Amino acid sequence: MSRAANNQVFELIFGLLELHGFHTHEAQASIIGVTPTTITNWKTGKVRALNRGKLDEVIRRVHFLSKRRGVDLVGEPSLCPIVIEEGAGPADIERQLRDKWDSVYLGHKFLYYHPAGAMAWKKLLDTGYGSAQLAKGFANAFGLALRDSTPGKSNLASMLRWSEGKSCGVDLISLGPGDGAKEAIAIESLIDRAGPKHRLIDWLTFTPVDVSIPLLRMASERARNLIRDRLNKESWPHFLVRPSCSDFEDGGIGFAGHLSDNPSDRRLALFLGGTFGNLKSETRFVEYSLGRMLRPGDLVWLEVGVRQDRIEDDGLYALSKGQLGDTQETVRRSLVEGPHRRFRASVGSPLDTRMRIIPREGGATCEVPGSYNFVHDVDINPSGQRCSVLYSRRYDIDALRRWFLELGYETRFEHRVKDSRGRDRTAHLLLFRARV
User: pLDDT band at 167, cuts 50/70/90?
Assistant: low
Which is it for strands 201-210 and 386-395: parallel, antiparallel or unpaired? unpaired
Rounded CA-CA distance 254/104 in Å is: 29
Closest CA to 134 of 331, 274, 288, 259: 274
User: pLDDT band at 1, cuts 50/70/90?
Assistant: very low
Closest CA to 266 of 167, 139, 414: 167
Rounded CA-CA distance 60/387 in Å is: 55
The per-residue pLDDT for range 269-325, each reduced to its tens digit, is 999 999 999 999 999 999 999 999 999 999 999 999 999 999 999 988 888 887 666
User: pLDDT band at 220, cuts 50/70/90?
Assistant: very high
Mean pLDDT of 5-33: 85
Contact criterion met (CB below 8 Å) for 17 and 61:
no
Which amino acid would we find at residue 190? L
Least confident among 18-22, 83-87, 225-229 = 18-22
Q: Does 11 or 154 have the greater pLDDT score?
A: 11
Evaluate if residue 7 carries a pLDDT over 60: yes
Q: In the chain, what are the domain boundaries?
A: 3-68, 83-308+395-433
Evaluate if residue 26 carries a pLDDT over 80: yes
pTM: 0.87
Least confident among 195-209, 286-300, 369-383 = 195-209
Rounded CA-CA distance 411/400 in Å is: 10
3-state SS of the chain: helix, strand, coil percent to 5?
45, 20, 35
- Top-level class of domain 3-68: mainly alpha
The architecture of the domain spanning 83-308+395-433 is 3-Layer(aba) Sandwich (3.40)
Closest CA to 358 of 366, 346, 369, 350: 366
Give the number of other CB atoms < 10 A from CB of residue 335: 25
Mean pLDDT over the full length of the chain: 87
Rounded CA-CA distance 381/154 in Å is: 53
Closest CA to 93 of 343, 265, 392, 336: 343
Mean pLDDT of 355-377: 93
User: pLDDT band at 2, cuts 50/70/90?
Assistant: very low
Evaluate if residue 267 carries a pLDDT over 70: yes
The per-residue pLDDT for range 89-137, each reduced to its tens digit, is 999 999 999 898 888 999 999 999 999 999 999 998 888 788 889 999 9
Closest CA to 175 of 276, 86, 104: 276
Is residue 5 packed enough to be buried (19+ CB in 10 Å), middle (13-18) or exposed (0-12)? exposed
Beta partners for residue 414, in sequence order: 429
